[in-house]
Chain A
């Protein structure tokens, strides 16, 4: 396990730091979400089905009109050594649309808020002044950024323009491996609910107490505690 952590640090060019040592299973996060009892849109990313193809990254950019070098989602890629063998590590990351988001409380204008009706954390581009306070407050590096077309803060909002109209987020729709699954976590019949109950999901940086709505299957404890950034250099060209 130590080897794996070391390998991750090595190849990510020192950009990745492991912060916090607290381990919390996603179960707690799910419990927090379910307490709300309302519709709560969430995503599960099954790493065993992710082949690192980055279709999600490109489709997100096309759908959401970000500049090619601005990403709401990215796939962190590096190699990991387990035992004496080398493996690839593919980790899609994005805004977690947290249940207790740290970005919302710091917003001085109320531009960033969590929607009652589905739990999506949105940024109202007409209210945002671009103070970047939310970017600083978010523990998930780079998932919030300044959209150079609007001059205001942008991030994944689960493709609200699609998901509020009966469609799937762009990244989910084009995930070649079928790693991304999306739905209402409080609808017990939804595929995402079933998936969450069957597997052992984790969230990123549980110690930050934000109760993310993006869950990962196949993440190790060390990885779940690592502060990955969307801006990690893209050294994995394979």
Chain B
């Protein structure tokens, strides 16, 4: 029996028999060892939560319980299985959940497999487990230590002394609620508006900027976008109940420009998302640029395993990791298949252009694919998707369609939505919905419906010119990769049909990060690798919330309440500048509306916590009156931000009220007036997508240990949800308290505790599509779901309890795709069928807020520029700042992992890393102390590591060190000092030091030219020995 099929069958009996056959010896021999012996041999080791006896029968440890939960050791969000000590209610150990799509190294267990059987399959007793394990990475394994951390916040705290002094007094939850809602002279520093007064004030926040809305918009909420349903809960409060557009996340300073940039090549839109992954199982050649698969990002557990399998099991898989620094992955055991290719920081787009140039000039692209102008024509030549390569772009400046596609409407041949192409056979102008191949290269005039002539050119012809606008030599010099190597890469990429792929992940963030990603997608488009077997997998990491409307049925409509209206632009100025008051006033006054006074972002809504704080620091459009910051740390995490905004945050006159919701004091919420203790992962209600999963799947959990946080007078634990519920009720916001939502029959339900929200949400997911079955008694007992069952029974209709509980006994819901491929492509569920874009018309309709000129519809290769268009290197010369700066994510470090002692024990410090030849010119060698000098006038002082594993001309510093909070420094609570822990404060953090945009007024951030997201790579820096 084929192993895969065998597992799929999920038959307990079959597994049991097979397991016993091969491992009889192991179990029976093992039983000789007495517990007393083991206690002597392993006195400090744990006792397993269950064991298998000689007959492979599971014997549970009565002192412990087993449960599924989520892992939040980083933003990937994986599934965890836990052993919990019943007496201490402490999580003893966390490993991966074998049902999820991100933890299981082999084939995820089917939902039909019972949890006990799943555990048996993972055990040594089964003899099956070696190639079928559910793992967690180093961070995930270390997480249980977080719960009893001495620097964890478990009580409500109010600031004593000045903001940032890190001195606190504990107060009751009720006192805190009253103070933040009602305001008053809370700190002896003068009257502060409470949340109630802020929300109730109908006046304009700033009469000079009426388009930025009323006073209630002066509530800033910075959040975590990576907490799944918890984040949705917060958004529901911010957008539908309170109604402020000023909600921030980390995405746009993390690298969202690449997600948006990839989408430029996938959709005729500027605010879409795409972040394709490599199809490891069938890929013949994969390029990883600005990412290190398997050791960070995009699903470490599953990525590590899939890549390991591909490179050791297959001889026909090659991969290249292109990054300024060598990481742990390109291992010396893999010299035949894998390679690390150093690239100068900021040179990524140059490399993409060079490869495109070679591929197009040498006609190594997939011609039939690119020649297909429509789905029908693609179908005719065996392609799954088509592109707009053959579409005609109007190139007459005077024509209203200038830089837009020629439409059938303009030609008198149809609607405006239909674009025009030149038929390949006949050379005639035809509509783009033609079933025939169209001409790739065309540059001439065509006659329109009204008889006029207009110059047009195909998108592909324009692309060819574009990628040839710089010589191969120039491009090679920019990225510091030899021409021969570029050509070799381009050849290899175009030598395996569609089974090639290129993946990035937040590591290419110069000012052209968005353009880089657009060009990167274009490479895959050249060979038609999208949605192809072995090619680009576009549907990774999607959860139920993305694929289904889980907040609206099938059982409960959690959004069914009277929504408030959000009025006005957001303060970060994501929106259409030409709709703004400023623009219109300038036009009325006869002034040139360009440049705008401030940088606008017209492509997509950034929700950038950093830019929102910059707006606050500039008092433009206004200072915020209150700031709720939950589970996020922009001061530490956002490049360049700290010194731009810190003073304005510290000043109670500029910002009246800061409320932090977090389990820890971090570098941002250390400035808070009040800290509300939030739950940590295993204490939470949670439902989340898993980054790196291939199929649709959510990890879901109920609190499996009692929360360490204080309780409210009602006896509920304090956490983010409870606080939001209670302030909303106090202010009188809709959507909380009574009549907070309805079931599909129209019956109203109240929302007073987190369970009131998550239980119906879980029920919705469990009943989406095929309704899940009911679990057995044994399943419920074994997975400790019985502890939560009363909460389900109290809130759901009896018939809904079973399926909902079933989902929890598997730690979530995961869709299964048994047949991965259909012919040469992914199956329909795993494909993102779309028209891939050579020329993004939507982008060509977006104006730059400085020049007022339209963006280009093709990828742009340019030097790094500031908002005003001036070249970065004209401001900061090569002579003074000879290096380009780069940062990267260390695989053991995540936003919260510094509080984990087993993680800090694995590395004392990070380093200033550069090539040994570069170092030698500054008389530096490994172990020396040096300062990296930023044009901002700041420096980073650290230890040099100089070797051959860094690209020349580049200085690299890893992220996750240099903390000042999270217990790194002393904190005073109720007059008692908790000393800082030395290990948490070691190393350097490059963000505070990194540059901002000197051509913007006042506080600013360095920006992506296309998307306005925060940029941080390729930045000029210098170095000197200390």
A contacting B, Cβ–Cβ less than 8 Å: yes
Closest approach, in angstroms, between the C-beta of B890 and any C-beta of chain A? Answer: 6
Interface flags, B88-128, vs A, CB<8A=1, else 0: 00001111100000000100000000000000001111010
B869-913: which residues lie under 8 A (CB-CB) from chain A? 888, 890-892, 901-911
Q: Are A190 and B127 in contact (CB under 8 A)?
A: yes
Given known pairs A166-B53, A174-B95, the reply for A161 and B42 (CB within 8 Å) is yes
Q: Are B304 and A4 in contact (CB under 8 A)?
A: no
Interface flags, B9-34, vs A, CB<8A=1, else 0: 00000000000001101110111110
Q: Are B142 and A164 in contact (CB under 8 A)?
A: no
- A100 close to chain B: CB less than 8 A: no
- A157 close to chain B: CB less than 8 A: yes
B323-358: which residues lie under 8 A (CB-CB) from chain A? 325-335, 339-340
Interface flags, A109-147, vs B, CB<8A=1, else 0: 000000001100011111100000000000000000001
Given known pairs A79-B947, A85-B340, the reply for A63 and B93 (CB within 8 Å) is yes
A180's nearest neighbour on chain B, judged by CB, is B130
- B51 close to chain A: CB less than 8 A: yes
Closest approach, in angstroms, between the C-beta of A126 and any C-beta of chain B? Answer: 5
B342's nearest neighbour on chain A, judged by CB, is A86
- B921 close to chain A: CB less than 8 A: no
List B contacts of A77 (CB < 8 A). 328
List A contacts of B947 (CB < 8 A). 10-11, 79
Given known pairs A62-B144, A63-B93, A163-B124, the reply for A177 and B339 (CB within 8 Å) is no
Q: Are A173 and B25 in contact (CB under 8 A)?
A: no
- A65 close to chain B: CB less than 8 A: yes
Q: Are A182 and B131 in contact (CB under 8 A)?
A: no
Give the residue of A47, A182, A190 whose beta carbon is less than 8 angstroms from that of B331.
Answer: A47
Interface centre among A55, A65, A165 (most CB of B within 10 A): A165
Q: Are B124 and A167 in contact (CB under 8 A)?
A: yes
Instruction: Give the distance in Å from the alpha carbon of A236 to the alpha carbon of B531 in the complex.
Output: 37
Closest approach, in angstroms, between the C-beta of B120 and any C-beta of chain A? Answer: 9
B31's nearest neighbour on chain A, judged by CB, is A164
List B contacts of A50 (CB < 8 A). 308, 331
List A contacts of B43 (CB < 8 A). 125, 149-150
Closest approach, in angstroms, between the C-beta of A118 and any C-beta of chain B? Answer: 6
- B133 close to chain A: CB less than 8 A: yes
Give the residue of B122, B295, B339, B961 whose beta carbon is less than 8 angstroms from that of A52.
Answer: B295
Closest approach, in angstroms, between the C-beta of A13 and any C-beta of chain B? Answer: 8
B797-842: which residues lie under 8 A (CB-CB) from chain A? none
Instruction: Give the distance in Å from the alpha carbon of A50 to the alpha carbon of B46 in the complex.
Output: 26
Given known pairs A88-B327, A174-B96, the reply for A166 and B295 (CB within 8 Å) is no
Instruction: Give the distance in Å from the alpha carbon of A63 to the alpha carbon of B139 in the complex.
Output: 14
List B contacts of A52 (CB < 8 A). 295, 328-329, 331, 891
- A18 close to chain B: CB less than 8 A: no
Instruction: Give the distance in Å from the alpha carbon of A147 to the alpha carbon of B44 in the complex.
Output: 9
- A57 close to chain B: CB less than 8 A: yes
Q: Are B29 and A236 in contact (CB under 8 A)?
A: no
- B138 close to chain A: CB less than 8 A: yes
Instruction: Give the distance in Å from the alpha carbon of A161 to the alpha carbon of B911 in the complex.
Output: 39
Give the residue of B31, B130, B905 whose beta carbon is less than 8 angstroms from that of A181.
Answer: B130
Q: Are B328 and A48 in contact (CB under 8 A)?
A: no
Given known pairs A79-B326, A168-B124, A237-B958, the reply for A53 and B138 (CB within 8 Å) is yes
Given known pairs A174-B135, A234-B906, the reply for A191 and B130 (CB within 8 Å) is yes
Q: Are A178 and B105 in contact (CB under 8 A)?
A: yes
Size class of the B contact interface (CB-based, 8 Å): 35 or more
Instruction: Give the distance in Å from the alpha carbon of A69 to the alpha carbon of B906 in the complex.
Output: 8
Closest approach, in angstroms, between the C-beta of B494 and any C-beta of chain A? Answer: 23
Q: Are A85 and B335 in contact (CB under 8 A)?
A: yes
Q: Are A62 and B902 in contact (CB under 8 A)?
A: yes
Given known pairs A85-B340, A157-B41, A178-B305, the reply for A163 and B294 (CB within 8 Å) is no
Q: Are A58 and B32 in contact (CB under 8 A)?
A: no
- B923 close to chain A: CB less than 8 A: no
Instruction: Give the distance in Å from the alpha carbon of A77 to the alpha carbon of B326 in the complex.
Output: 12
Closest approach, in angstroms, between the C-beta of A150 and any C-beta of chain B? Answer: 6
Given known pairs A69-B905, A175-B133, A187-B22, the reply for A53 and B30 (CB within 8 Å) is no
- A66 close to chain B: CB less than 8 A: yes
Closest approach, in angstroms, between the C-beta of B123 and any C-beta of chain A? Answer: 5
Interface centre among A126, A173, A174, A176 (most CB of B within 10 A): A176
Q: Are B25 and A39 in contact (CB under 8 A)?
A: yes
Q: Are A48 and B44 in contact (CB under 8 A)?
A: no
Closest approach, in angstroms, between the C-beta of B489 and any C-beta of chain A? Answer: 14
- B530 close to chain A: CB less than 8 A: no
- A19 close to chain B: CB less than 8 A: no
- B311 close to chain A: CB less than 8 A: yes
Q: Are A57 and B52 in contact (CB under 8 A)?
A: no
List B contacts of A230 (CB < 8 A). none
- A21 close to chain B: CB less than 8 A: no
Give the residue of B33, B300, B907, B987 whose beta carbon is less than 8 angstroms from that of A176.
Answer: B300
Instruction: Give the distance in Å from the alpha carbon of A159 to the alpha carbon of B136 in the complex.
Output: 18
List B contacts of A79 (CB < 8 A). 326, 947-949
Given known pairs A62-B93, A124-B40, A182-B130, the reply for A166 and B905 (CB within 8 Å) is no
A155-199: which residues lie under 8 A (CB-CB) from chain B? 157, 159-168, 170, 172-179, 181-184, 187, 189-192
Instruction: Give the distance in Å from the alpha carbon of A147 to the alpha carbon of B326 in the complex.
Output: 35
List B contacts of A181 (CB < 8 A). 130
- B468 close to chain A: CB less than 8 A: no
Q: Are B25 and A58 in contact (CB under 8 A)?
A: no
Q: Are B300 and A238 in contact (CB under 8 A)?
A: no
- B45 close to chain A: CB less than 8 A: yes
- A9 close to chain B: CB less than 8 A: no
Q: Are A160 and B909 in contact (CB under 8 A)?
A: no
Q: Are B33 and A160 in contact (CB under 8 A)?
A: yes
Q: Are A86 and B56 in contact (CB under 8 A)?
A: no
- B585 close to chain A: CB less than 8 A: no
Q: Are B123 and A167 in contact (CB under 8 A)?
A: yes
- B38 close to chain A: CB less than 8 A: yes
B338's nearest neighbour on chain A, judged by CB, is A87
Give the residue of B25, B41, B308 whose beta carbon is less than 8 angstroms from that of A179.
Answer: B308
- A207 close to chain B: CB less than 8 A: no
Instruction: Give the distance in Å from the alpha carbon of A209 to the alpha carbon of B966 in the complex.
Output: 48
Give the residue of B141, B335, B901, B907 whose beta carbon is less than 8 angstroms from that of A82.
Answer: B335
Instruction: Give the distance in Å from the alpha carbon of A172 to the alpha carbon of B288 in the complex.
Output: 28
Q: Are A68 and B144 in contact (CB under 8 A)?
A: no
List B contacts of A237 (CB < 8 A). 890, 907, 909-911, 958, 961, 987
- A17 close to chain B: CB less than 8 A: no
- A208 close to chain B: CB less than 8 A: no
- B748 close to chain A: CB less than 8 A: no
Instruction: Give the distance in Å from the alpha carbon of A119 to the alpha carbon of B332 in the complex.
Output: 32
List A contacts of B888 (CB < 8 A). 238
B91's nearest neighbour on chain A, judged by CB, is A62
Give the residue of B30, B124, B294 whose beta carbon is less than 8 angstroms from that of A177.
Answer: B294
A47's nearest neighbour on chain B, judged by CB, is B333
Instruction: Give the distance in Å from the alpha carbon of A157 to the alpha carbon of B41 in the complex.
Output: 8
Q: Are A118 and B906 in contact (CB under 8 A)?
A: no
Instruction: Give the distance in Å from the alpha carbon of A78 to the alpha carbon of B340 in the complex.
Output: 14
List A contacts of B56 (CB < 8 A). 166
- B169 close to chain A: CB less than 8 A: no
B194-215: which residues lie under 8 A (CB-CB) from chain A? none
- B737 close to chain A: CB less than 8 A: no
Given known pairs A181-B130, A191-B131, the reply for A57 and B44 (CB within 8 Å) is no
Instruction: Offer 30 A-B interface pairs, CB within 8 angstroms, sorted by A.
Output: A10-B947, A39-B29, A46-B312, A51-B304, A52-B331, A54-B138, A54-B906, A55-B140, A65-B46, A82-B332, A85-B339, A87-B331, A88-B326, A118-B29, A122-B41, A159-B45, A160-B38, A164-B38, A167-B48, A173-B133, A175-B135, A176-B305, A178-B133, A178-B305, A178-B309, A179-B308, A182-B130, A187-B23, A234-B907, A238-B326
Chain A residues within CB distance 8 Å of chain B: 4, 10-11, 39, 46-55, 57-59, 61-66, 68-69, 77, 79-83, 85-90, 117-118, 122-127, 147, 149-150, 154, 157, 159-168, 170, 172-179, 181-184, 187, 189-192, 218, 234-238
6 other A-B residue contacts (CB within 8 Å) besides A61-B902, A117-B33, A184-B25:
A69-B905, A85-B339, A85-B340, A88-B326, A161-B45, A189-B127
